[in-house]
Structure 1
């Protein structure tokens, strides 16, 4: 993971000490390792861990609509509708990654983004953390997706977004979270 873990706590009651790490796979986005750990009761166990550099997601609200992109997700063998998102590049701050991903996937340029919350995606086997950002003052431009990225930009009202959740078109945690943060924002004027 890039940067310091914002949730780290030195006093872990059930900490597992890593005795050995066996690299299994290193890819473009993730790596997989098998850790031998010492449990609090003194016994050893194994943990398969997916290492990820971290990611960003951006909820863009303009004219009471949220920007989403539809794209094919190979692990699921189907298309999903999601908020713009992507992984952190080496040495990149989450804020600059959010602004880059926003421009690449939607064509929108933001002068600034506001961090809403950071959260883990699957802490049972992966260290990926997503930093969710908010932007509402953007200028329109041209999409610049990655060479291997095919997506379609859409703008949804809050009711349409919630209907997409009910219909199963939106199923990923970051987008569902963004929709409920948006609803909270409409009701209270606060992001969290």
Structure 2
């Protein structure tokens, strides 16, 4: 655990850099050093983004997961396949709880009703330059009938939903076909917890 806290950082200036769908701030700051004293002034750009919620829908009775696929602009120049296999996900509005976002996005992106929401962890996906924090969940679902094309037309969403056996999804992750952090973390967590979830689920309703 670090010996420092946010009180050991001095923000000298915070200036607007850009504001569109997202926001970029320019910070001038200094911080305490491990060997004592204060470091020099640093100029850093901060990508300001609402916190996100990511959900891995898991059917413990069928032992399969529901994944979504959509184009991602961040992968355009670094992947031959910028349509990524992902979790259900969305950004948190100011008046929403992470749990409310999880249920809303499951309906909008995958047509799913979440039966039970299980927290996995919270983490910073890119703390070197972004303040975003991800709330990561696994959710128990009935996957029978899941699939098709979903998403909100007014938001330009074109989302394909598919069901995968847990083992096939893990294999896809290991082969690099699933290559985003939230999905990898959630699938690794499921690998460790699937048998427990199946035992606790009991008979299929």
Do both proteins adopt the same fold according to a TM-score greater than 0.5, normalized to the shorter chain? yes
Q: What is the Cα deviation at residue 186 of structure 1?
A: 2.1
Alignment of 1:126-137 (within 5 A): 126-137=130-141
Q: 1:55 aligns with which of 27, 52, 57?
A: 52
Task: Report the CA distance shift for 1:144/1:37 in structure 2 as closer, same or farther (over 3 A).
Answer: same
Which SS does the other structure have where 1:115 is aligned? strand
Partner of 2:17: 24
Which SS does the other structure have where 1:91 is aligned? coil
- CA distance in 2 between counterparts of 1:187 and 1:151 reads 30
- CA distance in 1 between counterparts of 2:193 and 2:132 reads 26
Partner of 1:46: 43
Asked if the contact 1:103/1:143 (under 8 Å) is kept, the reply is: no
Moved over 3 A (4+): 137-144, 187-190
Alignment of 1:18-167 (within 5 A): 18-28=11-21, 30-40=22-32, 41-62=38-59, 63-77=62-76, 78-138=82-142, 144-147=150-153, 148-167=156-175
Quote the RMSD (CA, aligned, Å): 2.5
Which SS does the other structure have where 1:109 is aligned? coil
Structure 1 unaligned segments of length 5 or more: list them. 1-8
Which SS does the other structure have where 1:57 is aligned? strand
Q: What is the Cα deviation at residue 58 of structure 1?
A: 0.8
Q: How many residues are aligned here?
A: 181
- CA distance in 1 between counterparts of 2:188 and 2:54 reads 14
Moved more, 15-24 or 136-145: 136-145
Asked if the contact 2:149/2:158 (under 8 Å) is kept, the reply is: no
Q: What is the Cα deviation at residue 42 of structure 1?
A: 4.6
Q: What is the Cα deviation at residue 153 of structure 1?
A: 0.4
Q: What is the Cα deviation at residue 143 of structure 1?
A: 6.5
Give CA-to-partner distance per residue, 1:98-140, whole Å, 9 cap, x none.
1111111110112442222111110111011111112114586
Q: What is the Cα deviation at residue 168 of structure 1?
A: 2.4
- CA distance in 1 between counterparts of 2:123 and 2:187 reads 15
Please say which structure displays the higher CA radius of gyration. Answer: 2
Asked if the contact 1:55/1:86 (under 8 Å) is kept, the reply is: yes
Structure 2 unaligned segments of length 5 or more: list them. 33-37, 77-81, 199-205
